[in-house]
Amino acid sequence: MTAPLTPPPPPHDDSAHQARQAPPAGAPLAGMYEQDGPGMKTEVREAAVVTVAVALGGVLLGLLWWWLAPHVPLIADHVGKSWVVYIKDTEGEQAIGVDGTFTLLGLAFGLVSAVVVFLWRRRGGVPLVVALGVGGLLASLLAWRLGVWLGPESNVIAHAKAVGKGVTFPAPLDLGAKGALLAWPLAALLVHLGLTALFGPRDPEEKPYPA
């Protein structure tokens, strides 16, 4: 009885299969170099849009402040050849109310702007947070100058001469505490960071490599 002439099959070599499965040189490995988010250029463009939109909201803040802020009553007296202006109600709290109105409105606008930006762009990012802060500060400055411009005459002596001696007239609308300008940006930053921490997307947990 003779042995079969058919040679046995060659041993299975996995090296060629492994070589075919290896990624080409220079190709990014899946999951290792994936870009997180839309990209820096897109985030910068979105941040610029947020900055401009939030800053323009200062027009509405200025109008509301001019409308809602209390007036500080002044009264003038003519002494010799000069005019002297006094606060009519020295124990009144109108001056504090002017700053308080601006601060409360700034906090409300900061809250609303942070919620709107978060709903529009949930992932957040450093450029977006910076845009909220810068836009809120620019909006506060715009609202302050707009309210002063719309308010009563800033030249108190000229206003006193116009109304006459002993006639009550409102003081110029202005901020005694300039720290109120930070109400909008601080509120926007804190609310947005809180919303991102509570409801923002979570990074997937890394699975341990098999042994």
Non-local CB neighbours of 138 within 8 Å, separated by 6+ positions: 51, 54, 55, 58
CB 132 within 8 A of CB 188: yes
- Judged on CB neighbours under 10 Å (0-12, 13-18, 19+), 76 is buried
| Residue 115 token pair | 């919620």
Q: Would you list the DSSP string of 112-142?
A: HHHHHHHHH-TT--HHHHHHHHHHHHHHHHH
What are 93-123's pLDDT values in tens digits?
888 999 999 999 999 999 999 999 999 887 7
Query: Higher-confidence residue: 26 or 135?
Result: 135
- The backbone torsions φ and ψ at residue 102, rounded to the nearest 5 degrees and listed phi first, read -65, -40
Mean pLDDT in the chain?
81
What is the per-residue pLDDT for 94? 85
Closest among 114, 115, 148, 145 to 131, alpha carbons compared: 114
Residue 44 to residue 112: CA distance in whole angstroms: 22
Q: What is the pLDDT of residues 121-134, one digit of tens each?
A: 877 678 889 999 99
Q: What is the pLDDT of residues 61-95, one digit of tens each?
A: 999 999 999 988 888 887 777 888 878 877 778 88
